[in-house]
Amino acid sequence: MRIVVTGGAGFIGSHLCDYFIRKKHYVICVDNLITGSLKNIEHLFGNEKFLFIKHDVTNYIHIPGKIDSVLHFASPASPEDYLKYPIQTLKVGALGTHKALGLAKEKNAIFMLASTSEVYGDPLVSPQNESYWGNVNPVGPRGVYDEAKRFAEAMTMAYHRYHKLSVRIVRIFNTYGPRMRLNDGRVVPNFIYQALRDKPITVYGDGSQTRSFCYISDLVEGIYKLLFKNISEPINLGNPQEMKIIDFAYLIKDLTNSKSKIVFKNLPQDDPKQRKPDITKAKRLLNWQPKVSLKEGLKLTIEYFRNIS
Ligand code: NAD
Ligand code: UDP
């Protein structure tokens, strides 16, 4: 297969590029490097099956030749990033999705959208299953990301219904691993960075809010399985092991043997109080579930951050 990965120089996108190349496919990575880095893909530059195109996908995407799949992963994803780039986040979710869908339609390719657990907003049900419609504040600071992704899902389904395009929508829950940016502001790199330097570990709010963390290799396997199944409705992919952020801070301190103190900072506006995927559908339809335990995944991630810092 010849596959386009938008956002392929980012954290998840670069792991997808690696995985598809390992599976002997051709990969075209399209990225404008707003939050990604060439460091994530430079090891692929000598590979004749890999091509990098620096391009902002909110503009028309022209790629000659046949394409079998378009995986649209371009978008800032860390809350700090999308607060810094609100307009770009809305544009890549809306215009970028439209352009990526147009490319898929032109090439008669399968289209996959990287959606997010954020479409559930601050959820009033837990765990969240795919039939829950969510509780999103459209005018709050996180609205730029959440609403862009909700629009992207609606646009994807419109192309499916109207143009009969073959589509996949993956609702990704918090995923972590090597190649996250040390300073991207998300909780995993923040806590590891702070712990490795014995700096205060910054828990936002009282730390009672929960998240469920999935290791990158598990996510990538789920995405690969979904691509080859004809399932157009959204599918949650994530690890259902739920944890309070305060307990997560202690876990990181423990795993890094850190002397850091734990300090409390203001909770950002609209920060979801709980997040835990219901993965019944992924288990049933994809025969997929995460294999890497939180401790195992964190050890690999800490090792990576030790080596680059
Ligand atoms: P990331 O910031 O590391 O990667 C995003 C990539 O998209 C970057 O390389 C960036 O430069 C690129 N990009 C952004 N706007 C672009 C544009 N207009 N044109 C071309 N490239 C552009 O983030 P990530 O964690 O790898 O997230 C990847 C995708 O997965 C995003 O769509 C995100 O919404 C989704 N997602 C991630 C998570 C997670 O936990 N990591 C959870 C839910 C959803
Ligand atoms: N968080 C924290 N300290 C930090 C960074 C994040 O307590 O230094 C909290 C944040 O408020 C949220 C959770 O950790 O409740 C996960 O935040 P992240 O930015 O990783 O992503 P989110 O799941 O909110 O999209």
8-57 pLDDT, tens per residue? Answer: 999 999 999 999 999 999 999 999 999 999 999 999 999 999 999 999 99
Query: If DSSP codes are grouped into helix, strand and coil, which group holds residue 239?
Result: coil
Protein residue with least CA distance to atom 6, ligand 2: 187
pLDDT tens digits, one per residue of 46-63: 999 999 999 999 999 999
DSSP state of 118: G
Q: 106 near 159, Cβ under 8 Å?
A: no
CA of 82 to the centre of ligand 1 (A): 10
Amino acid present at 139: V
pLDDT, tens digit, 9 for 90 and up, residues 179-196:
999 989 999 999 999 999
Quick one: tokens of 87? Answer: 């307009």
214, two tokens = 């999935």
pLDDT per position as a tens digit, 122-137 = 999 999 999 999 999 9
Between helices 294-308 and 245-255, what is the axis angle to 10°? 60
Label residues 230-250 b or e (16+ Cβ within 10 Å = b). ebbebbbbbbbeeebbbebbe
Residue 68's pLDDT band (cuts 50, 70, 90): very high
Intra-chain end-to-end CA distance of the chain, in Å: 37
**Measured from the CA of 77, which atom of ligand 2 is nearest?**
25
Q: What contacts 4, CB < 8 A, 6 or more positions away?
A: 27, 28, 29, 30, 61, 63, 67, 69, 70, 71, 100, 103, 109
State the DSSP H helix or E strand holding residue 265, giving kind and residue range, or none if neither: strand 262-265
Is there a contact between 264 and 190 (Cβ–Cβ < 8 Å)? no
Is 145 known to be catalytic?
Answer: yes
pLDDT confidence of 308, banded at 50, 70, 90? confident
DSSP secondary-structure letter at 242?
E
Q: Which of 145, 159, 176, 215 is catalytic?
A: 145
Q: Coil, strand or helix: which one is 98? A: helix
Domains and CATH numbers, the chain: 2-176+214-238+277-291 (3.40.50.720)
Q: Report the distance separating Cα 161 and Cα 8, nearest Å.
A: 27
pTM: 0.98
* pLDDT 10s digits, 201-213: 999 999 999 999 9
Half-sphere exposure of 138 (CA within 13 A, CB side): 4
- Nearest residue by C-alpha to atom 3 in ligand 2: 203
Peptide linkage before 268 cis (omega within 30 of 0): no
